[in-house]
Every structure is written in C-alpha cells, then in structure tokens.
Amino acid sequence: MPWLEKTRRLAIVKMRRDEQELKNFPQLRSVLFVRGSFEDKSSFLHRDVKLLRVLDLQGVRFRVIPNTVFNQYHLRYLSLRDTKVEMIPNSIGGLRNLEVLDLRGTDITNLPSTIWKLELLRHLMCGHSRFPQSSQHSTGFEAIPGIGFLQYLQTLYYVELNGNEAILEELGRLKQLRKLGVRNLGKEQGLIFCSSLGNLGKLRNLSVESISPNEILDLQYLFSPPKFLERLHLSGRLVVLPPWISSLQNLIKLSLSATQLQEDQFVYLQSLPSLLSLSLHHEAYVGETLCFKAASLEKLRFLSLYMLTNLKQVIVEEGAISSLEEMEFIACQCLKEVPSGIEQLTNLKSLILQHPSQDLINSIDCTKGGEAYHKVKNIPSIRIFIYPNTWYNLPRERD
C-alpha cells in the first residue's frame, strides 16, 4: 500500500497476533499505542523504521522493552508509563537524542549508569504512589553518580536519596530544573540539600519527602529560596517551620504531610498572598483548633484536611479564605461540627465529608433537627461518604 510508505504518525489501538511487527513504514516519526496490546516479543519495530522520534507505549502489557526500541537513534520521546517493565537495559545510553523519558507507574527503581549519556534529556519522570493520598507509600528511582551531567534537565522526579550526599551536591548543578521531586531525605542531609536548592533559581515545583513520617525534615538552611516556586509538597516532621516558606510570593499550591505543625506555626502559612490550594494530610497539623485569621488567604480556592486526628475545631474569621470554592474533610474523627464562620464563605460550591463523626453529620442534618444546618444550607453541593462505600447528598429542607 503506497500510503504506508508516506505515513509519519501512527496510532495503534490493537495489533493482531499475526501482525506483531511494524514494517513498511520508512517515514514513520511517531507511534502511539492507545492502551493497546501485543505479544511480549523482543521486536516489534521493523528494521526499515529508522526515523522514529516519538514512541508512546503507555499501558502496553509487556515486561521487557523490545530490543528494537534502542536502535532508534533519532528518538526524542519515550513513554513506558503504566507498563509492567521493571528494568531499563544499558543500551538506553544509545538514545543520544532522547529528551523525554517517562517511567511513571512502573516498578523501575534502578537506572543504568548509561542513562547519564543522554545529555539532551530534559524530562525524567519515574515512580508512582500506591495510595494516592499518602506520599510515604510512593516510589522513585535510586540515583547514581553522574546526574549532574544532565545539564538540560527541567523535570526530575522521584529521586531516592538514601543518604547519598554526593547526589545532593550534584543536584545543585542542574540549574535548568523547573520540577524536582526527592524522597528519603535524612535529617543530617538538610544543610547540603538546602545549599543545592539555593542554586536552582528556575525551580517552579518542589516535592521533598523524608525517610519516614517521623523523620525530621531539616530545611531551615535555605536562605535564598527559588523565588518563582509555585508548588511545594513536604512530607516529614518539621520541628520548626522553615521561615523561607512564608516568603514564597508566587506559591499557588501547598501540600503538607506528617509535618506535625502546631497552632502557633500555622499562622505563618497564612501570609502567602497567591495561595490557591492548601492540603494538610496525615498529621500535617496536630493542634486541636485550626484558625484562619481575619482577611488571610483571600485567594484560596481549595482546602483539604485529611487524617488530622487531633483536630476538634476549625474557625474562619471574618474575611478569611473568602474565595474558597471547595472544602473537604477526610477522616477527621474528632471534628464534631462544621467550621465556625463557614456561612461567610459565599463562594463555597462544594463541601465533602468523608468518614465524618456521627456528631458532625447530625449537626447539619435537617431531618434530625441539626442545629447547624443553617450554616451550610446555601452550599450547592454537600457530599457525605460513609464506610465502606456509601456516598449520599445531604438532605435539604423543602421550600
């Protein structure tokens, strides 16, 4: 078929068993598998396919990367996302023009030393979370010496540090980084890590996770934080809230997990002028009362509180979080009532309560004479989830 010889872009939904090899496509530049599948073979690209630049194998069910992939010298984009691949061979070092390597959703935890031959690499993504709301169960890849040679890297996550101070120092050489995710940072590496972060002036997105939920994240030594930082995720115990966080004028999303903040420390987070999303998960906050001070966080649109086991009361003072549109409380069992001042949040469109206390449910249930129903009656959507698998809408008064 003449059109095969001219085809440059190809999307494959399914390949028949008797057609497990792409051939007669000498001009092919891009191949996308749409959650397709083919037999686990060592070859599926014919030798006449030599100009391929994009290869997206996301969701394809194979465990070993076909050998012919590593013959594609011109390849710039390679996605193995959500495949069953567990190992990257040394031959990946031959893909000298590769710019994007997507290994998310795989069980790959080690990369060969030849990966650092990919000097044009811009985006390296690896790892996944088995439990989406718990970063402590996520995985990444163990970094090896040489990462500092990838001078064009803009995206790098998740790197398992595991006490490797040499890797921490090399990170400071990656001055084009926009997004960085590191895991298993120990308390004793805080000073070196902060020193490297100070060199990453273009960083927009940063995720840092400690070795364990109780391991201290010592990040107070960052004296010149990336001024363009927009997204920040911290997971691990913070003895002292790093003072530089309150200076992040461009921060729009903040996610904290296991940080164990006290009431007096939370005040400093309320000075972030651009914050749109705030998530406090897994004992990120251990105080009994969470108070949003008057006129604070006026741009905040989304608030998530998850497994704050000490939390008994939330207070919204006048003018605080006035732009809030979505609020969710998940597994905050000590919370017996909706936030004081919630009725002032006239922009609130959605309130989600997952595994709430029975006292909280009763307080807003108009069919049971809930005395706080008037506080939430103007919220368009109130969804309640009760274990094990029951979602329902809050009953409403009839006009």
Q: pLDDT tens digit string along 195-230?
A: 999 999 999 999 999 999 899 999 999 999 999 999
How many whole angstroms separate alpha carbon 359 and alpha carbon 361? Answer: 5
| pLDDT (0 to 100) of residue 56 | 87
Residue 354 has pLDDT above 60, yes or no: yes
Q: pLDDT per residue over 285-328, tens digit each?
A: 999 999 999 999 999 999 999 999 999 999 999 999 999 999 99
Phi, psi for residue 121 in degrees, rounded to 5: -60, 130
Task: Report the DSSP pairing between strands 381-386 and 390-393.
Answer: antiparallel
389 pLDDT band (50/70/90 cuts)?
Answer: confident
| pLDDT (0 to 100) of residue 308 | 98
Q: Could you tell me the maximum CA-CA distance found in the chain, to the nearest angstrom?
A: 75
58 pLDDT band (50/70/90 cuts)?
Answer: confident
Query: DSSP alpha helices (H): ranges in 15-95?
Result: none
Lookup result for tokens 């997105």: 205
399 pLDDT band (50/70/90 cuts)?
Answer: low
Structure-token pair, residue 110: 């080690």
42 pLDDT band (50/70/90 cuts)?
Answer: very low
6 pLDDT band (50/70/90 cuts)?
Answer: low
How many whole angstroms separate alpha carbon 69 and alpha carbon 46? Answer: 10
The neighbour count for residue 140, using CB atoms within 10 Å, is 23
Reduce the DSSP state of residue 113 to 3 states and report it: helix
Q: pLDDT per residue over 109-159, tens digit each?
A: 999 999 989 999 999 999 875 444 444 456 789 988 889 999 999 999 999
Residues 6 or more apart in contact with residue 175 via CB below 8 angstroms = 151, 199, 200, 201, 202
How many whole angstroms separate alpha carbon 208 and alpha carbon 223? Answer: 17
Q: Which of 12, 70, 4, 74 is nearest to 37 (CA)?
A: 12
| pLDDT (0 to 100) of residue 132 | 44
| pLDDT (0 to 100) of residue 18 | 46
> Buried b vs exposed e over 191-208: b needs ≥16 C-beta within 10 Å?
ebbbbbbbebeebbbbbb
Residue 249 has pLDDT above 60, yes or no: yes
Residue 67 has pLDDT above 90, yes or no: no
Residue with the larger pLDDT of the pair 72 and 255: 255
With beta carbons less than 8 A apart as the criterion, state whether 337 and 372 touch. yes
With beta carbons less than 8 A apart as the criterion, state whether 333 and 354 touch. no
With beta carbons less than 8 A apart as the criterion, state whether 265 and 243 touch. no
With beta carbons less than 8 A apart as the criterion, state whether 316 and 342 touch. yes
Residue 4 has pLDDT above 80, yes or no: no
CA 333 to chain centre: 26
| pLDDT (0 to 100) of residue 332 | 98
46 pLDDT band (50/70/90 cuts)?
Answer: low
Please report, for residues 166, 186, 225, 238, the alpha-carbon distance to residue 190 in angstroms, rounded to integers and kept in the order given.
Answer: 13, 7, 14, 12
Residue with the larger pLDDT of the pair 357 and 65: 357
Residue 275 has pLDDT above 50, yes or no: yes
With beta carbons less than 8 A apart as the criterion, state whether 235 and 258 touch. yes
Beta strands in 282-335 (DSSP E): 289-292, 302-306, 313-316, 326-330
Mean per-residue pLDDT of the chain: 89
What value does the mean pLDDT take over residues 16-21? Answer: 49
Lookup result for tokens 């394809």: 60
Element containing residue 3 per DSSP (H, E)? helix 2-6
